[in-house]
A = this chain, B = another copy of it.
């Protein structure tokens, strides 16, 4: 099959890879209907994370089950399924508490390389959620979004305790941030402030339910949020970037007793203990347990109540994955969908 490989920073190639096979009796192999490039794929692409030799890329996937191992019970060939970036058994105590991305048997999907024609999915019964029927093609981008960016934005909004009566700030206008806006709206937030200085992203944020746009960043951004919230700060802040600046912006924009939900993968972040202590903020986040939310998100998408697929503003054949990376790296595209 063909699949994307990162050879060195900036060097993505779609080339021949071995077809994945059932290796464990709990595995499934799926034929991808669509996959995409993640903001987190840009960290190694930019050389900020080290690249050691050619590595398969991609961890977002939807598709049709081709084959299942002998111990797979609930997932069947022919089903259209959505999974996430961690395979999980969905039965251990951590999974049952809703933290499938910390499952005691979790396996990271990235190294298996979802930017490809086929993908082996470990722990198929726990990891995959089937749609009620094979969806029409126009729903595929939204279901693909559920695989990571929607689930991650949703977790950010849940971790920030977005809900009725709340003012929610979203730091970061990538796909995750934009979908945190959508999530906050669905969760009933009263006011949603998107921090963005990019007009197309501002427009999408407003389409998803943002009531205010703040273009300032850092201290000026915090000051603006305070101004908009009677000097107190927001009840809920979703952090969807992962840098020192964005984390501090999120913490400082939160009122005492408020909640920061942080889902941007932290890179080089250190939090000052004293400031955190006196901030009185709640902090929660980490790799989103997307599996927790998948059944609900699939329902909302299949009932056409939400349209998270709008974050894909570039669609390419898999063979042009390199252009998808370039467009995202240069911020010409919010998110690139790849069709195998």
Contacts and interface: CB of A to CB of B under 8 A. Distances in A.
Quick one: copies of this chain in the complex?
Answer: 2
Most chain B CB neighbours (cut-off 10 Å) among A256, A262, A278, A281:
A256
A274 B269 contact: yes
A201 interface: no
A29 to B, nearest CB: 29
A269 to B, nearest CB: 3
Given A94-B232, A104-B231, A267-B274, A282 B280 contact: no
Interface residues of A, number: 39
Interface in A268-287: 268-274, 276-287
A70 B307 CA distance: 60
A93 interface: yes
Given A94-B232, A232-B94, A99 B280 contact: yes
A247 B273 contact: yes
A257 interface: yes
A97 interface: yes
A131 interface: no
Nearest to A282: B284
A13 B244 CA distance: 45
25 contacts: A99-B256, A99-B280, A101-B280, A102-B257, A102-B280, A104-B231, A104-B232, A247-B273, A256-B286, A262-B277, A266-B274, A267-B274, A269-B272, A270-B271, A270-B272, A271-B271, A271-B273, A276-B283, A276-B286, A277-B285, A277-B286, A278-B287, A280-B286, A281-B284, A283-B284
